[in-house]
Amino acid sequence: MDNKLRLFLDRMKTPLGELILLSDELGNLRAVEWTDHEDRMRRLLSRQYRSTQITMETCHNPFDLTSALESYFAGDMESIQSLPVLTAGTAFQQIVWQSLRSIPTGKTESYGSLAKKLGMAAAVRAVGLANGANPISIVVPCHRVIGADGSLTGYGGGLHRKQWLLHHERKYRIDADGLFNLERNDI
């Protein structure tokens, strides 16, 4: 078994600051994190890949992943929907992260609702912890999870970013009929 993981690192400017993208040699996103939280990203990676030697090399727009995220920030909400992701979290974390991708763009869901959807209504705190350990920000949309009372709670990139991302997605979302739906009075 090969215990080496070669990752390609790119950095991109966004309206919210610089974003780091890490992908593997097959084009899977392994991490997306804000530059000012790079230490957190590295800690999560070393925890998730404990027995793996990780190497990172700079690569501009690996597998067009950076371009897809640039399109998202330009208003194309569909550009990130099917991006390939691969993480090394626990089985429970994997289930939570997969479920996050099922929350529609421009919508939110509470931690409790997400836990119920997973058939684990009593696991609200565990869902919150898994959500907080998500290494692939934005693409695995942990920012769409809110408190039971509708409040914006916990986001590794900061609540100001969470609020901006939710507003951005609501502003540009496409409704169920495929029609552009520009909302101006959101969050």
CATH at 138: 1.10.10.10
How many domains is the chain built from? 2
Establish whether 59 is a catalytic residue: no
Is residue 106 one of the residues assigned to a domain? yes
- Residue 73 falls inside a structural domain: yes
Whether residues 98 and 162 share a domain: the answer is yes
Q: Are residues 26 and 68 in the same domain?
A: yes
Q: Cα separation of 53 and 179, whole Å?
A: 47
Same domain, 58 and 9: yes
DSSP-assigned states of every residue in 92-134:
HHHHHHHHHTTSPTT--EEHHHHHHHTT-TT-HHHHHHHHHT-
Do 106 and 148 reside in the same domain of the chain? yes
Beta bridge pairs of residue 54: 5
Residue after which a domain boundary falls, among 32, 58, 80: 80
Of 32, 127, 140, 142, which is the active-site residue? 142
Q: Along the 187 residues of the chain, how does pLDDT read in single tens digits?
A: 468 999 999 999 999 999 999 999 999 999 999 999 999 899 888 888 888 999 999 999 999 999 999 999 999 999 999 999 999 889 999 999 999 999 999 899 999 999 999 999 999 999 999 999 999 999 999 999 999 898 888 888 889 999 999 999 999 886 544 545 554 444 4
Q: How far apart are CA 121 and CA 69, in angstroms?
A: 33
The answer to whether the predicted template modeling score (pTM) of the entire model surpasses 0.85 is yes
Residue found by looking up tokens 């610089």 in the block? 18
Q: Do 118 and 53 share a domain, yes or no?
A: no
Helix, strand, coil in percent for the chain, rounding step 5: 40, 20, 40
**What integer pLDDT is reported at residue 89 of this predicted model?**
87
Quick one: 46 and 75 in the same domain? yes
Q: What is the CATH number of the domain that holds 9?
A: 3.30.160
Which pLDDT score is estimated for 157?
Answer: 86
Question: Based on the domain organization, do 57 and 114 belong to the same domain?
Answer: no
Same domain, yes or no: 61 and 95: no
> Which residue, 41, 58, 80, sits at the end of a domain?
80
Domain that includes residue 15, residue range? 4-80
In a domain, 16, yes or no: yes
pLDDT at 153: 86
Residue 184 lies in a domain: no
